[in-house]
Amino acid sequence: MRTLLSQEELHAGVCRMADQIAACYQGKQLTIVGVLTGSVVLVADLIRLLDLPIRVGVIQASSYRGATTIRGELSINSELMLDISGRDVLLVDDIFDTGHTLHKVIQRMREFEPTSLRSAVLLHKQGRQEVDIRPDFIAFQIPDEFVVGFGLDYEDMYRNLPYLAALEPADIADHAQMIAEAKLN
């Protein structure tokens, strides 16, 4: 895997984004809702950097299933989400690719009538946007590559990498072999 962003670069970008968020919500209580599972690392870092009264919750949204890098049908589960009615809400996700996930999750969350609803993403993948929205806070712009690490996965692996890496075709083949060998043992 080729490193795109080091651990130090990721930390600096998250700090910059946290400063922007803090300035936007100064003097307000903020409800942060992370999109499971990719945003977990980002949410953990953000809440430690924000000196605001914060509530934290999650919503589940997924469009990738199994061994694929191709988006499928989006599934949203809001049963885990905090009550956001009448609250200032920041939706946090790992990556803004085509934008369909963020767009549909925002639509779903608006049904709960928050006072305000903004979004923050770690990554904005260049050249892939297919919707008319844009995240309010973006830590990094990246090229159109499949990435893992810092919460992002391939087949639920690599989320724990402290850096962001591009997953190359050879890496996918190595991963498939590792899974096959694990099933034999």
- The catalytic residues are 97
Phi-psi region of 27 (alpha: psi -120 to 50; beta: other; left: phi over 0): left
- What are the tokens at 28? 């307000």
Pairwise CA distance, residues 143 & 24, whole Å: 28
Pairwise CA distance, residues 111 & 118, whole Å: 14
Strands (E), the chain: 2-5, 30-36, 54-62, 75-77, 88-96, 116-125, 137-142, 147-148, 164-166
